[in-house]
Amino acid sequence: MHQNLDSLNLFKQLKEEVLCKYKDSFPYWEGTLEDFGNKEIAELQELIEAAIKQRISEKWVYTHLKPTDNEKLPREDMLNILSVWVGYSGWDEFRVKAKGKLVESEKRFSKKKGKKILIVSVALFVLGFVVVFGGGKFFNEKEYVFRFYDQYTQKEVLASNFSVDLVANSASLQRQKIVGGRLKIKSDIDSVQLKIVSPYYKDELFSILFNKEEIAIYLQPDDYAMMLRMCMNSEKDWEKRREQLEKIISDEAEIVEIMYDDIGVEFLNKEEFIDKITIPIESTNTMEIVDILYSEKGKITALKFIQKSKNGQ
């Protein structure tokens, strides 16, 4: 048990080095691995493949890199790929050197411990200076809660399959965490802009005035994406569903299934995809859309979806 916990802590350090390596190529990224979306995952895949001729799947990133806490250690061959990419000969070398860094860190902490009182005193002085001469701006921050609603049904959207980017005072967009389907932020400014990104709702930029502590955001559904979700979760009207899908999907559409249990993806053409979600089998109601793109004429030209496990995980 202790050995497993130790290995998971080392894997967490490896993930931090992966993020640092990614930022070497994309220095303006301000998020964490947990905040990675389809764009950042694709960039990471390209960096690894170009550097060491190895590849990690999008599903593997969702399963092992994006979670804040991992319950089990990934396979060693995948740990070797990441270790080599960040500059080691493999997982074994990373593990040994990472443990050495922890020892050195503990020694430095021990040396600094005797200066703790001085550091705390300086920090208190600086805080007092900010309060007295800075107008106490820090203490003027208020917490605001954003609740999201479907514009058609007026029901609250609690799903976590959308992201929110924040822009304030013309600053760069910053990815925000959605907790329980709601967003909480602290701010001392008067207004903010929120960019909503979701496979099931249209991308929109909302200008928000902070005139109340709980703010409602109404999202406009993406009709075709909603139709696809209905088809994936329905067990009747098979012929009608086929006709609808034939109309909304381009003949040249690029359709990708992200494997849940296996590492990798599967490419489907239009007819294979329609057969997959209109033939009445047990697994059709465990599919979710990950990403969707349209042509200028409004037809679906690219689609990514995931086949979840039978228990819904």
Report the 10 Å Cβ neighbour count for 111: 8
- Tokens 């600086």 sit at which residue? 126
Rounded CA separation 282/248 (Å):
24
The string of pLDDT tens digits covering residues 179-209 is: 666 777 777 667 777 777 777 888 777 777 7
In CATH terms, the fold of domain 141-219 is: Immunoglobulin-like (2.60.40)
Pick from 35, 47, 32, 61: nearest CA to 259? 61
Per-residue pLDDT, 104: 59
Are 36 and 58 in contact by the 8 Å Cβ rule? The answer is no
Please give the pLDDT value at position 277.
Answer: 80
Q: Which residue has the tokens 């910053």?
A: 174
> For residues 82, 85, 87 and 89, what is the CA-based torsion angle, rounded to 10 degrees?
70
- Confidence at residue 85, expressed as pLDDT on a 0 to 100 scale: 94
Looking at residue 313, what is its pLDDT? Answer: 45
Average pLDDT over residues 114-129: 52
- Could you tell me what percent of the chain has a pLDDT over 90? 21
**SS3 for 251?**
strand
Residue-by-residue DSSP string for 85-133: HTTSSSHHHHHHHHHHHHHHHHHHHHHHGGGHHHHHHHHHHHHHHHHHH
For the cut 60, the answer to whether the pLDDT of residue 311 exceeds it is no
Q: Give the integer Cα–Cα distance in Å for 90 and 83.
A: 5
Q: Find the mean pLDDT for residues 97-105.
A: 70
The answer for residues whose C-beta is within 8 angstroms of residue 259's C-beta and 6 or more apart is 57, 59, 265, 266, 307
Q: Which amino acid is at 121?
A: S
Arithmetic mean of pLDDT, 247-274: 84
Quick one: pLDDT at residue 115? Answer: 56
The upper half-sphere exposure of residue 245, i.e. CA atoms within 13 Å in the direction of its Cβ, equals 23
Task: Examine the pLDDT at 17 and tell me if it is beyond 90.
Answer: yes
Backbone Cα Rg of the chain? 24
Rounded average pLDDT over 81-97: 92
CB 202 within 8 A of CB 177: no
Q: Higher-confidence residue: 275 or 166? A: 275
Domain boundaries of the chain, sorted by first residue:
2-108, 141-219, 223-307
3-state class (DSSP) for residue 59: helix
pLDDT at 66 over 70: yes
In order of 137, 215, 223, the CA distances from 286 in angstroms are: 49, 33, 20
CA–CA dist 176, 186 (Å, integer): 12
* Whether the predicted pLDDT of 125 surpasses 90: no
Query: Which residues face 153 on adjacent strands?
Result: none
pLDDT (0 to 100) of residue 297: 82
Mean pLDDT score across all residues of the chain: 77
Q: What average pLDDT does the segment 241-267 reach?
A: 83
pLDDT at position 285 over 70: no
The pLDDT assigned to 1 comes to: 44
pLDDT at 142 over 80: no
Give me the architecture of the 223-307 domain, per CATH.
Roll (3.10)
Segment among 72-86, 125-139, 251-265, 274-288 with least mean pLDDT: 125-139
Identify the CA nearest to 282 among candidates 256, 312, 304: 312
Pairing of strands 191-197, 163-167: antiparallel
Q: In a 3-state reduction of DSSP, which class is residue 196?
A: strand
258-268 mean pLDDT: 74
Against a cut of 0.95, is the pTM above it?
A: no
What pLDDT is recorded for position 243?
Answer: 86
